[in-house]
């Protein structure tokens, strides 16, 4: 029997991310936590949510226990509304048909810029990461939700490389650069939910997860993050949310 107090940090990320989505939205979701979150909210409260995969699939039905390992895998196409060329998927972004972009990254900074390309000096990187894929297009043209583990090495003052733009240097710099739509909406971690200040565009904590303190968030953030004194505390994942999540991912491929 599912225990409401017994869940992994990945399950927490999936549930908290799912609660950010709204019925009727079109969500550009990657595999892993973004796909689980989108499918979870689809099953529980948002039947009109449409999932879009970078590989060209619009409106797939995700079969419980058969989660696709990549967005180009045939399991992504089950009962889909449409299968497009990848160039046409990016055209949907450019034409404004996608509401939410959903991804993770290796690093994020105070203005929500994401790095999934390299760590270290761009001219002589220590580590090469998977790179952009469609990450630049997605973050340039949609409202972004980012989900990742909350660690100081990931939440940095300035990312080594901007793969996916957030609010660039803060203030109006994103708009001034020509990115007139989209932007960072929420950052969901295993410690808290973050938003961005309306004026400065700097990251701020909006809610803590149960049992987490403001000091823990500060200790695990590599920059001075704004935390209000009267923070909300999120509701723990419900038994129903966990049951549906574990039905979707019975082998815990993404939620171990």
Catalytic positions are 54
- CA-wise closest residue to 8 among 209, 232, 204: 209
Q: What is the b/e burial string over 114-148, where b = at least 16 CB atoms within 10 angstroms of the residue's CB?
A: bbbbbbeeeeeeeeebeebbbbbbbbbbbbbbbbb
Contact, 205 vs 225, CB < 8 A? Answer: yes
135: left (phi over 0), alpha (psi -120 to 50) or beta: alpha
The whole-angstrom separation of Cα 222 and Cα 115 is 15
Tokens 């961005």 -> residue: 196
The strand order across the sheet containing 183-188 reads: 82-83, 57-58, 50-52, 26-29, 100-103, 143-147, 183-188, 192-196, 203-208, 226-233
Ranges of H-type helices in the chain: 9-18, 33-44, 86-94, 135-141, 173-176, 214-219, 239-248
- CA-wise closest residue to 196 among 182, 210, 214, 215: 182
């Amino acid at each position: 029997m599912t225990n409401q107090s017994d869940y992994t940090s990945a399950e927490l990320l999936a549930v908290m991310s799912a609660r950010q989505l709204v019925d009727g939205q079109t969500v550009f979701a990657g595999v892993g936590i973004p796909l689980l979150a989108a499918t979870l909210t689809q099953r529980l409260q948002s039947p009109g949510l449409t999932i879009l995969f970078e590989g060209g699939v619009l409106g797939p039905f995700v079969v419980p226990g058969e989660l696709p390992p990549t967005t180009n895998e045939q399991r992504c196409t089950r009962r889909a509304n449409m299968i497009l060329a990848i160039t046409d998927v990016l055209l949907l972004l450019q034409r404004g048909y996608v509401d939410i972009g959903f991804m993770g990254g290796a690093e994020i900074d105070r203005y929500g810029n994401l790095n999934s390309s390299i760590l270290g000096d761009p001219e002589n990187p220590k580590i090469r990461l998977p790179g952009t894929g469609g990450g630049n297009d997605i973050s340039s043209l949609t409202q972004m939700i980012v989900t990742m583990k909350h660690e100081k090495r990931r939440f940095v003052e300035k990312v080594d490389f901007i793969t996916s733009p957030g609010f660039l240097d803060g203030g109006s710099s994103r708009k001034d650069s020509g990115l007139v739509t989209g932007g960072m909406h929420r950052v969901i971690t295993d410690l808290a939910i973050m938003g961005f200040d309306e004026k400065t565009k700097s990251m701020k904590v909006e809610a803590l997860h149960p049992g987490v303190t403001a000091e823990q968030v500060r200790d695990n953030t590599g920059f001075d993050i704004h935390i209000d004194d009267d923070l909300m505390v999120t509701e723990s994942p419900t038994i129903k949310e966990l049951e549906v999540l574990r039905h979707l991912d019975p082998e815990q491929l993404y939620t171990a």
